[in-house]
């Protein structure tokens, strides 16, 4: 199980880092509806630590997006590990 977890995490990190810079710049479904219904300005989405899928402080947009994918994948994995450990207790 440890080998599978390590390989799966490596593949997820690799994909998130390498493929995310090529993602569409068009808004996703929720963002599109927020724009259409004119409540996007009221959202707090731009206030997050990695807003708009770009790592803060990095000038190159592709690198910023790749780092955001890398960081987000690690954070979600860490959160999942924490939830599993708490559930086992």
CA pair distance 12, 46, nearest whole angstrom:
25
The reported pLDDT for the residue numbered 82 is 96
Local confidence band at 36 (pLDDT 50, 70, 90 cut-offs): confident
- Tens of pLDDT, residue by residue over 54-86, are 888 888 888 988 998 899 899 999 999 999 999
The reported pLDDT for the residue numbered 77 is 95
Structure tokens at 17: 């880092």
| DSSP assignment letter at 47 | G
The reported pLDDT for the residue numbered 76 is 94
Task: Answer for the pair 65, 23: CB distance below 8 angstroms, yes or no.
Answer: yes
Structure tokens at 30: 């929720």
CA-wise closest residue to 13 among 79, 61, 69, 56:
69
The reported pLDDT for the residue numbered 46 is 61
Is residue 88 over pLDDT 90? yes
| Domain range summary for the chain, segments of one domain joined by + | 2-70
């Amino acid at each position: 199980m440890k080998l599978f977890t390590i390989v799966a995490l490596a593949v997820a990190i690799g994909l998130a880092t390498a493929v995310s810079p090529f993602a569409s710049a068009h808004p996703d479904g929720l963002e599109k509806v927020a724009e259409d219904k004119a409540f996007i300005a009221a959202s707090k989405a731009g206030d997050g630590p990695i807003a708009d899928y770009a790592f803060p402080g990095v000038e190159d947009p592709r690198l910023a997006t790749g780092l955001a994918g890398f960081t987000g994948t690690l954070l979600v994995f860490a959160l999942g590990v924490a939830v599993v450990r708490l559930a086992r207790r």
